[in-house]
Amino acid sequence: MTVRIGLIGAGRMGQVFAAHLAYSVAGAKFVALADIDAARAAELAGRAGGLASYGQYADLLARQDLGAVVIASSTYSHAEVVKAAAAVGKHIFCEKPLALSLAGCDQAVAAAAAAKVKLQVGFMRRFDAAYQAAKEKIVAGAIGQPVMFKAIGRDPRCPDLDYARRENSGGLLMDMAVHDFDLARWLMGSEVVRVQSEGGCLVFPELKAVGDIDNAVVNLKFANGALGNVDVGRNAVYGYDIRTEVLGSEGSVMVGYLQQTAILLMTHAGVTHDTVPFFMQRFGAAYLAELRDFVACIRDDREPTVTGQDGRAATTISLAATLSLDEGRPVSLSEIKSE
């Protein structure tokens, strides 16, 4: 069985997915892509092997020969595109976050369930070899009972201001910290029930004009009593810095690294090494692995590894953390409603 796939979105993530789908996902055939910028869609389609391209995603979804779609469109459009794809019976891989609201998540999940199609959400860190090994160690009891979660997620530069607007990307806590929130519940094996956030524009004051911040810390309380802390920022001038630790009753497991190449330069000036430049150098293999897993879940007719409910849960934590930031108080996740 070959899964014929269309891609919606030809921006930064769309280009990443296009390269993998065109050359590296066995059992899949990449046949078409769409982007609201028709010229960009045509250019990427050419680079991916002369695929069909469209300026409207509805035209791609109308193709009867497609069995699945990968959604990498603008964040604010995710729920809308998921619902449209489900309505015509396509299996769906959706880049994170699933939606910018709880109602959007619920509508997307319900649409996929009603259509009986697969819905996988793009939390690629779960497919990274180091994170998978950490999860296996935790499940095996190597560190005892997990009691503390700590995550650091720092980008090396400020995003485009229009992208940073909450109505477009959800802001720092939705756009970036959502990865750490997903890891928190996955690695700890417990749901987050309360959050408290602090944040501000400490390096890039221009972000304030679009309603975003550049640094934040979020404390987490889990249903089983465990604790957590997430530190996210946009000004890691030294490189892309993603690290995670789970402390258990009998030990600790740590994931992450700063040094990209196994070489040290040692001179009178000191000892130096390189760092991870950005997300593709760190998680390129994980992006490929999640697409392979998506195709496998269709071919094997099994539940996706990262479900729509997982996407909903991470969005809920992000919304609670943003509300805590805005109101300067702890927020219980039960306060976040689907309206």
**Last-in-domain residue among 124, 159, 192:** 124
pLDDT band at 232 (very low <50, low <70, confident <90, very high): very high
Tell me the pairing of strands 146-154 and 241-248.
antiparallel
pLDDT band at 338 (very low <50, low <70, confident <90, very high): confident
256 pLDDT above the threshold of 80: yes
Q: Which has the closest alpha carbon to 91: 294, 293, 313?
A: 294
* Predicted local confidence at residue 279, as pLDDT: 86
Does 295 fall in a domain?
Answer: no
Does 94 fall in a domain?
Answer: yes
Please identify which residue in the block is written with the tokens 């930064």: 12
Q: 174 and 319 in one domain?
A: yes
321 pLDDT above the threshold of 80: yes
Give the predicted TM-score (pTM) of the model: 0.96
Q: Which has the closest alpha carbon to 285: 179, 127, 133?
A: 127
**Last-in-domain residue among 124, 157, 180:** 124
**Last-in-domain residue among 58, 92, 124:** 124
* Token pair for 282: 């760190």
H-assigned helices in the chain:
12-23, 38-47, 57-61, 78-87, 102-115, 129-139, 161-164, 166-169, 172-175, 177-188, 279-299, 308-327
CB count, 10 Å around CB of 174?
Answer: 23
Does 302 fall in a domain?
Answer: no
Q: 191 and 46 in one domain?
A: no
* Predicted local confidence at residue 177, as pLDDT: 98
User: Do the Cβ atoms of 317 and 333 come closer than 8 Å?
Assistant: yes
Does 230 fall in a domain?
Answer: yes
* Token pair for 233: 């920022």
User: Do the Cβ atoms of 322 and 174 come closer than 8 Å?
Assistant: yes
* Token pair for 286: 């994980």
* Predicted local confidence at residue 22, as pLDDT: 95
Q: 162 and 79 in one domain?
A: no
Across 174-186, average pLDDT:
98
210 phi and psi angles, rounded to 5 deg:
-110, 10
User: Do the Cβ atoms of 271 and 265 come closer than 8 Å?
Assistant: yes
Does 307 fall in a domain?
Answer: no
Does 291 fall in a domain?
Answer: no
For residue 195, give the 3-state DSSP assignment: strand
CB count, 10 Å around CB of 27?
Answer: 12
Q: Which has the closest alpha carbon to 182: 235, 232, 123?
A: 123
| Range with the poorest average pLDDT among 60-69, 94-103, 146-155, 273-282 | 273-282
* Predicted local confidence at residue 12, as pLDDT: 92
339 pLDDT above the threshold of 80: no
217 pLDDT above the threshold of 80: yes
Across 269-287, average pLDDT:
91
> pLDDT tens digit string along 25-57?
999 999 999 999 999 999 999 999 889 999 999
pLDDT band at 126 (very low <50, low <70, confident <90, very high): very high
Across 290-310, average pLDDT:
98
User: Do the Cβ atoms of 119 and 94 come closer than 8 Å?
Assistant: yes
- CATH code of the domain containing 255: 3.30.360.10
Does 146 fall in a domain?
Answer: yes
242 phi and psi angles, rounded to 5 deg:
-125, 115
139 pLDDT above the threshold of 90: yes
User: How many Å separate Cα 190 from the centre of its chain?
Assistant: 19
Q: Where is 230: in which H helix or E strand?
A: strand 227-233
Q: 174 and 206 in one domain?
A: yes
- CATH code of the domain containing 88: 3.40.50.720
**Cα–Cα distance, 32 to 67 (Å, whole number):** 12
Question: Of 49 and 113, which is predicted with more confidence?
Answer: 113
User: Do the Cβ atoms of 30 and 22 come closer than 8 Å?
Assistant: yes
202 pLDDT above the threshold of 90: yes
Does 116 fall in a domain?
Answer: yes
Across 82-106, average pLDDT:
98
pLDDT band at 21 (very low <50, low <70, confident <90, very high): very high
Q: 119 and 13 in one domain?
A: yes
User: How many Å separate Cα 319 from the centre of its chain?
Assistant: 15
The torsion of the CA quartet 34, 123, 168, 73, rounded to 10 degrees, works out to: 0
Q: 106 and 23 in one domain?
A: yes
Q: Where is 66: in which H helix or E strand?
A: none
Q: 257 and 173 in one domain?
A: yes
* Predicted local confidence at residue 280, as pLDDT: 85
- Amino acid (1-letter code) at residue 235: N
Average pLDDT over the chain, rounded to an integer:
96
| Number of domains within the chain | 2
Rounded to 5 degrees, what angle do the CA atoms 29, 75, 116 make? 55
Please identify which residue in the block is written with the tokens 């090994």: 133
User: Do the Cβ atoms of 168 and 77 come closer than 8 Å?
Assistant: no
**Cα–Cα distance, 120 to 301 (Å, whole number):** 13
* Predicted local confidence at residue 218, as pLDDT: 98
Print the domain residue range for 93.
3-124
Q: How many helices (H) and strands (E) does the chain have?
A: 12, 15
pLDDT band at 6 (very low <50, low <70, confident <90, very high): very high
Q: Which has the closest alpha carbon to 154: 203, 208, 206, 226?
A: 203
Q: 279 and 168 in one domain?
A: yes
Q: 180 and 318 in one domain?
A: yes
Across 265-291, average pLDDT:
93
Q: 153 and 25 in one domain?
A: no
Q: 142 and 98 in one domain?
A: no
Q: 256 and 108 in one domain?
A: no
**Cα–Cα distance, 77 to 81 (Å, whole number):** 6
| Range with the poorest average pLDDT among 74-83, 179-188, 241-250, 261-270 | 261-270
